[in-house]
Structure 1
Amino acid sequence: MRSSVEIHNIVTGRTRVVWQTEKLVEAPNFSRDGRFLVINGDGVLYRLALAGGGPERIDTGFAVQCNNDHGLSPDGRLLVVSDKVEFGKSAIYVLPAEGGAPRLVTPNLPSYWHGWSPDGETLAYCGIRGDAFDIYTIPVEGGAELRLTFGEGRNDGPDYSPDGAWIYFNSSRTGLMQIWRVRPDGSEPTRITDSPYGDWFPHPSPDGKHLLVLSYDGDVFDHPRDLDVRLRLMDMDGGNARILFELFGGQGTMNVPNWSPDGSEFAFVRYAPA
């Protein structure tokens, strides 16, 4: 076993295995009806039914060098992917959720998708412009990107609160990577975590009650795979933080939104040494 796709229930505290494979797969998203997960592996995306049966490939057209920054629209009709076939750098595309031809959202590269606004109209992503890793948003139909951070350390992993009032992200502006949030217009940057860990990929629960965070040891740089990490749950303001469990993982474990529609569970990937 190389990759174990699993689901943890925060109500019961139990974890169940959905599927295991000798291949490297990453970054599960829940479908809007809760019946399947979307995962990536070998540059393409798959639909993994929770009822069993194994993964089914999603037709992403020419986009066959997808990374693990992908997700479904709030209404479940569209799929967003980050792929580098066309330009040699990660670019953001949208396509029908059932599969189809990708449509480029922004020509500004590289860009790595991470969040979709609750109204379905806006995408949030990490863009690298020069040497600066910053948070941007853009209408899903394309247009001008809006820059929300301005090189205050490395900024990555944006995801919207369910009411659309905040965009949560991770930033190294204080030294260690920690969780912050900002208004969609870029105002009111607010620090959420003050931990000894390297905190990455904050995902607010759909009911607005919890924030899920992937935490590395404090001396780890970036977000590599195959390390001992922990998944932490906290209030939306960072209060009442606790470790749910530790696992061997990191990159690919939960880079993108991974909550079930009702907010009782989340999906993740656990790894075994390569």
Structure 2
Amino acid sequence: MTPRADRQDTAQQEKFRHRTHRAGQRSQVWVAGPDLSSPHLLFETDEILIEAPNWTRDGRHLVVNGEGAAWTLDVHHPEQGLERIVLDPPVSLNNDHVLSPDGEHLYLSATDTHIYRAALTGGPVTQLTPNDGKRHFLHGVSPDGRRLAYVQIDDFSRPGALAILNPDHTVTVLDTGSGHLDGPEWSPDGSWIYFNTEAFTTTPGHAQIARLPDGGGPLQRLTTSSTVDWFPHLSPDGRWASYIVFPSGTTGHPADLPVEIRLVSVDDWDQPVQSYSLFGGQGSLNVNSWSPDSARIAYVAYPIES
């Protein structure tokens, strides 16, 4: 059994550093969907290790992070490569970023463990989280754009908490039980918050997908599996969801493992309508990567040439 403090120290190190490719490794951006017979390789690079794609509201670009910066990729002309979003000051990003519902702003988790907002076109950056001595890891923005959902960590020897940053800059912490959680994200209608949690087990690291009502309430378990299930993301139309599956016994969401991306109907989370095996994990599906029309997702694989 790995002590929680050791597991959380490892998670802390992953949050605070910029990943780079291993020898022979590259980043591949794939596009797939519930009605697509097979995934499509959109873009690959061995120059920058990129993570966490999400779609712009107009469906024309993906936003990714790499080397501590945010980048855009033209979906229709990926051969043009990555274009950097220039921020002022140049905040050093970790792997979590989400777009505002109006498509005009980017919310960013930084390696200093604060959350920031900037225009999607770049420019001035505003710190949003309080200087409260806690660590703040972004994952969701409410459908009305007024609140942020994030994981709040006092210290890495204890589980993270589900925190909501309100419009008046106060913070509400919701009760999700004693297990560590990650990836909180609202449903498109704003009535639920989805996340992965260890609340249903005493086995270290055995995360499952769950949800609770917006504002708090009893947890509803959505997956019951022997695998370690992380980062649920609902499609904009509310019909589909994606999540990433780590091998049984995995603690945290590490990089460079054989994993699986699953697409499911929101009516049955344990029966995938599509599944994709890949070498990846951390960075592959950290943020909501559904296209605006709910037809496609994007994810990142990190193959290594032998």
TM-score, normalised to structure 1, is 0.93
Counterpart of 2:173?
147
- 2:298 paired with 1:272: no
Structure showing the higher helix proportion among its residues: 2
Partner Cα separation in structure 2 for residue 46 and residue 200 of structure 1:
24
Which amino acid is the alignment partner of residue 4 of structure 1?
A: Q
In the TM superposition, residue 163 of structure 1 has moved relative to its aligned partner by 0.6
SS in 2 for 1:135: strand
Partner Cα separation in structure 2 for residue 63 and residue 145 of structure 1:
26
Counterpart of 1:116?
141
Partner Cα separation in structure 2 for residue 272 and residue 61 of structure 1:
34
Counterpart of 2:102?
75
Evaluate the alpha carbon distance shift between residue 133 and residue 272 of structure 1 in structure 2; reply closer, same or farther with a 3 A threshold.
same
- 2:138 paired with 1:138: no
SS in 2 for 1:101: strand
- 2:196 paired with 1:160: no
**Structure 1 segment 185-204 matched on structure 2, within 5 A:** 185-204=215-234
Match of 1:258 among 264, 286, 289: 289
Counterpart of 1:2?
26
**Residues 23-74 of structure 1: CA deviation (Å, up to 9, x unaligned):** 2110001000000000000000001111221111001222442011001111
SS in 1 for 2:165: strand
Evaluate the alpha carbon distance shift between residue 59 and residue 142 of structure 1 in structure 2; reply closer, same or farther with a 3 A threshold.
farther
- 2:203 paired with 1:173: no
8 Å CA contact 2:176–2:219 kept in 1: the answer is no
- 2:133 paired with 1:127: no
Which amino acid is the alignment partner of residue 11 of structure 1?
A: D
Counterpart of 1:105?
128
Evaluate the alpha carbon distance shift between residue 132 and residue 220 of structure 1 in structure 2; reply closer, same or farther with a 3 A threshold.
closer
Partner Cα separation in structure 2 for residue 142 and residue 68 of structure 1:
26
8 Å CA contact 1:91–1:112 kept in 2: the answer is yes
Evaluate the alpha carbon distance shift between residue 273 and residue 149 of structure 1 in structure 2; reply closer, same or farther with a 3 A threshold.
farther
In the TM superposition, residue 104 of structure 1 has moved relative to its aligned partner by 1.1
- What is the percentage of aligned positions where both structures have the same residue? 39
8 Å CA contact 1:136–1:147 kept in 2: the answer is yes
How many corresponding residue pairs? Answer: 269
Evaluate the alpha carbon distance shift between residue 240 and residue 217 of structure 1 in structure 2; reply closer, same or farther with a 3 A threshold.
closer
8 Å CA contact 2:278–2:301 kept in 1: the answer is yes
Partner Cα separation in structure 1 for residue 154 and residue 216 of structure 2:
17
Match of 1:16 among 40, 45, 51: 40
- 2:277 paired with 1:246: yes
Evaluate the alpha carbon distance shift between residue 239 and residue 83 of structure 1 in structure 2; reply closer, same or farther with a 3 A threshold.
closer
Partner Cα separation in structure 1 for residue 168 and residue 42 of structure 2:
36
Evaluate the alpha carbon distance shift between residue 94 and residue 142 of structure 1 in structure 2; reply closer, same or farther with a 3 A threshold.
farther
In the TM superposition, residue 137 of structure 1 has moved relative to its aligned partner by 1.1
**Residues 81-140 of structure 1: CA deviation (Å, up to 9, x unaligned):** 1113xxxx311011111111111111243111111111111111111123231111113x
In the TM superposition, residue 237 of structure 1 has moved relative to its aligned partner by 4.4
Give the root-mean-square deviation of aligned CA atoms. 1.6
TM-score, normalised to structure 2, is 0.84
SS in 2 for 1:251: coil
Please list every run of 5 or more consecutive structure 1 residues that lacks an aligned counterpart in the other structure: none
Partner Cα separation in structure 2 for residue 203 and residue 16 of structure 1:
20
Partner Cα separation in structure 2 for residue 149 and residue 60 of structure 1:
35
Which amino acid is the alignment partner of residue 183 of structure 1?
A: P
Match of 1:58 among 66, 82, 85: 85
SS in 2 for 1:206: coil
- 2:246 paired with 1:216: yes
Partner Cα separation in structure 1 for residue 36 and residue 70 of structure 2:
30
